[in-house]
Amino acid sequence: MASLPPSQSGLPLLLGRIAMFDSFIRLLRDIHTSNQNLADAIRTHTKAYEHAQEAHQEAPPSPINLPTAITAYYESEQNERPSKNRWEVIGRIIALITVIAALAVAIFTYRTLRQVTKQVNLAQGQLRVMQRQLRMDQRAWIIVKYQTIQLIDGRPITVPLAMENIGNTVAKNVSGKVAVYLTKAGEDPELDYGPGNTHYEFGPTGLFIPNTPDVMNWIAIRDGKQIILTAAAHRAIIEGNTLITVHGKIDYRDIFGDSHWLTFCRQTGGGTMRPSSSNKCASYNNTDEQEESK
């Protein structure tokens, strides 16, 4: 089969391209025309809007006619508003002054109350001191005085003790424990009133009148038996090798109902009572401070 010449085979292709180019040109022309119409429409709309705005600005607003009663009420309100505002300000100032005054009164009252409380506490403290001083001045004070011991061979060793109230008022409910026995020089006393330790107990007695000594004789006891003075024991006591030891505790109350106590301890050798050679005995001598009854 014979092929077409080159000139004849390329002609349809060329014609197709020309037709396509012509269609593109027409499309561009249509787009340009549409854009031109759109621009004209926008300019027309803009001019119409500007004319409407100018007409709106030039036209004066139409007045609104309100009823006469409303206009009068509004004018009255406008005229009275400064006065109302002024009274509101005055009211607020008065309320603020009232709050400040109330706060000042509260602070003053609080400080006054603190001062009064402090003065009351001070007065109560001074009153307690005065009451304590009065009780110490007027209370009962019991002491123990030591008498001369008579040593007689063949007879029980007897130690006289004088208990005396040197206070200004009577002592009540007096009771006590007393122990009397022999110890060697330098030996500590037992100072124990429990079971197995022989001692005396007395009271509670009646009243101890001030400045009226009550002398009581206490016989030395060991293991529940009276100690009879022998010649050898007599010589040992005179020489100071054996000591007569006496100690005790006394309890009592004063007229105020306060409880008091007294402990004592003494040792004798050479025929007279003297300070103990035992530190334990010496430190046992003591009395209470002012104690209020509980």
Q: Regarding predicted confidence, which is higher, 93 or 81? A: 93
Where residue 168 falls among pLDDT bands split at 50, 70, 90?
very high
148's CB contacts (< 8 A; 6+ apart) are: 160, 272
pLDDT above 70: residue 3: no
pLDDT above 70: residue 271: no
Cα–Cα nearest to 173, from 162, 181, 165, 182: 165
- Residue 245 to residue 261: CA distance in whole angstroms: 20
150 phi/psi in degrees, rounded to 5: -90, 115
Where residue 243 falls among pLDDT bands split at 50, 70, 90?
very high
Which residue type, as a one-letter code, is found at position 253?
A: R
Where residue 69 falls among pLDDT bands split at 50, 70, 90?
low
The two structure tokens encoding residue 222: 């060991």
Mean of the pLDDT values across residues 49-65?
A: 59
pLDDT above 90: residue 180: yes
Where residue 247 falls among pLDDT bands split at 50, 70, 90?
very high
| Contact criterion met (CB below 8 Å) for 144 and 161 | yes
Cα–Cα nearest to 250, from 204, 283, 206, 212: 204
Q: pLDDT at position 197, please?
A: 84
Q: pLDDT at position 77, please?
A: 62
pLDDT above 90: residue 233: yes
In the block, tokens 């006619």 appear at 65
- Residue 246 to residue 267: CA distance in whole angstroms: 6
Mean of the pLDDT values across residues 134-144?
A: 90
Q: pLDDT at position 265, please?
A: 95
pLDDT above 60: residue 40: yes
pLDDT above 60: residue 42: yes
* pTM of the complete model: 0.57
pLDDT above 80: residue 106: yes
pLDDT above 90: residue 263: yes
- Residue 246 to residue 254: CA distance in whole angstroms: 26
Mean of the pLDDT values across residues 277-282?
A: 86
pLDDT tens string 181-218: 999 988 999 899 988 788 999 989 889 999 999 999 99
Q: What is the mean pLDDT of the chain?
A: 81
